[in-house]
Structure 1
Amino acid sequence: MANHKSALKRVRQAQVKRLRNRYYHKSARTAIKELRAETEKSVASEKLPTVFSKIDKLAKRNIIHKNKASNLKSKLNKFVNALA
């Protein structure tokens, strides 16, 4: 375990950041699931910008890779456009 005061602080900070990242990631995944469960195009297109925003924030914070964020956004956009 850490022996120095700075190392102990770093452990505390890492834990806080890990929990915060987990919260952001989980909330974004839930929003994506809710969007994919949507059957009406009008409702789905209203939710799309908020989901895109959450995905962009994950990529900005390096929680997910920027290419994964782009792929997710592309697939969600195709899904919403395909709805009747």
Structure 2
Amino acid sequence: MANHKSALKRIRRNEAVRLRNRYQHKTMRNALRKLRTQETKKDAEALFPSVVSMIDRLAKRNIIHSNKAANLKSKLAKHVAAL
């Protein structure tokens, strides 16, 4: 068990941050799935900016690695262009 008041607070805070990160990461994965299953190019192009924005936000906060974000955006752009 933690010996310091600050350590106890850190434990509580770490758990809250972990849950928020998990939620945001899962939301991003669902958005990717939704974009990849779009049938028409018009729908995909409408959804694309919001998904890219979400990916950028997660990379900025180090929830996902910046290289992974770049790879995801590149693949999505190619996918949307190919529709």
Amino acid paired to 1:15: E
4+ runs deviating over 2 angstroms: none
Amino acid paired to 2:66: K
Structure 1: how far apart are the matches of 2:61 and 2:46?
25
Q: Does 1:15 align with 2:12?
A: no
Amino acid paired to 1:62: N
User: Which residue of structure 2 aligns with residue 25 of structure 1?
Assistant: 25
What's the CA shift for 1:3? 1.7
RMSD between superposed Cα atoms in Å:
0.5
Gap runs ≥5 in structure 1: none
Aligned residues: 83
Cα offsets for 1:20-73 (capped at 9, x unmatched): 101110100000000001110000000000000110011011000001000000
Structure 2: how far apart are the matches of 1:2 and 1:40?
55
Amino acid paired to 1:33: R
Give the TM-score normalised by the residue count of structure 2. 0.98
Give the TM-score normalised by the residue count of structure 1. 0.96
